[in-house]
Amino acid sequence: MFGNRSKAGPFEYSRKWSLRLFFILGTVFLYAPIVVLIIFSFNDSRRGGNIIWKGFTTKYYTKAFGNEELMLAFANSLTIAVVSTIISVILGALTAVVLWRFRFPFKPIYEGLVSLPIVIPEICMGVSLAMFFSAMGWMQTGDKPWPFNLTNIIIAHITFCFPFAAMVIRTRLQSFNREMEEAAKDLGASEFQVFRDILLPHMKPGLIAGALLAFTLSLDDFVITFFTSGPNTVTFPVKIYSMVRFSVTPEINAASTVLILMTLVLTFLALRYQRMDSTP
C-alpha cells in the first residue's frame, strides 16, 4: 500500500506543477500586454509605443482629461451606457420572469431568440443593425439618409445587453422558494404585491449584477457601435480607435488605462453580486 503511494506521489506532484506552469504561462500571455500598457501610460516619452523607459510622469493623464473631443466621447459612452443599462435591466427582468414562471408554446424558440445576440458574432450584428437603421430611415424619409445618432447606438446596445441581464436575473430566480409566493397569496396579497414585496427583493442581487454587466458591455463595445454611430456621435472606444490609426501616443495609453480600470472595477462588482446571486 505504501509502495503504491510512493509511486503515485511523484506523478501527482509533477502533474500539479505542470498545471500551475500552464496556468502561469496562460495568465502572462493574456494579461502581460494590459500590464505593459498601464505601466507605459506613466512613461515620460513622446511616443506611446516607445518601450524605453524615460521616467515617471502623470502629465498624459492630465492631457487626456484636457482633451475636449476625448471627454465628449467619454460623456457619450457614459450616457449610452446608463440609458441602455436601465432599459436592458427592465427588459431583462421581465424576460427572466416570463422564462422562469410561465409555460407556453414555442418557449424553446423564444429562449433561443433571446440568447441569439449572445452567440452571434458582433460584426454580423453590427452590420445587420446598420442595414436595419438605414432601411428604416429610407422608409420614413424617402431619399434622405437615416440620421445616425445616440438613439441608434442606445437601441443597438439594448439589443445585445438585455439578454445578458436576463440570463443573470433568471439564474437568481432559480433559487426562489415558490412557497413564499403561495403563502403571500393565501394571506390576500395580489400579484403586484407579491412581485413588489417578495419577488423583487429576491431578484435584487441579480438586478444589480445584470446592470453592472450590461453597463460594462455597453461602455466597452466597439464593433456594434462602430457600425451604428454617425460622424457626430463618437464614443470613447471609437475615438481611441480613430486616434490609434494615426499614431500610438502616451495620451492613448492613459485613456485606455482609465477605461481598463473602470471595466475591472465594474467586472469585480458584477462577479461579486453574481456570487451573491448563487447563494439562496
Closest of 72, 228, 63 to residue 137, by C-alpha: 228
Task: State yes or no: pLDDT of 6 exceeds 60.
Answer: no
* 243-265 per-position pLDDT tens digit: 877 777 778 888 888 888 888 88
Grid coordinates belonging to 10: 511523484
Task: State yes or no: pLDDT of 277 exceeds 60.
Answer: no
Q: Collapsing DSSP states into helix, strand and coil, what is residue 84?
A: helix
pTM for this predicted structure: 0.77
Task: State yes or no: pLDDT of 167 exceeds 60.
Answer: yes
* Cβ within 8 Å of residue 125, ≥6 positions away: 117, 159, 160, 224
Q: Collapsing DSSP states into helix, strand and coil, what is residue 56?
A: strand
* 137-146 per-position pLDDT tens digit: 654 444 454 4
| DSSP output for 19-53 | HHHHHHHHHHHHHHHHHHHHHHTTB--S-TT--S-
State what percent of residues in the chain have pLDDT above 70: 86
Reported as a pLDDT band with limits 50, 70 and 90, residue 30 is confident
Mean pLDDT value across the chain: 81
- The whole-number pLDDT of residue 139 equals 44
Task: State yes or no: pLDDT of 2 exceeds 50.
Answer: no
Task: State yes or no: pLDDT of 54 exceeds 50.
Answer: yes
- The whole-number pLDDT of residue 92 equals 93
* 69-86 per-position pLDDT tens digit: 888 888 889 899 999 999
- The whole-number pLDDT of residue 152 equals 86
- The whole-number pLDDT of residue 101 equals 85
Residue range 10-20: mean pLDDT, rounded: 73
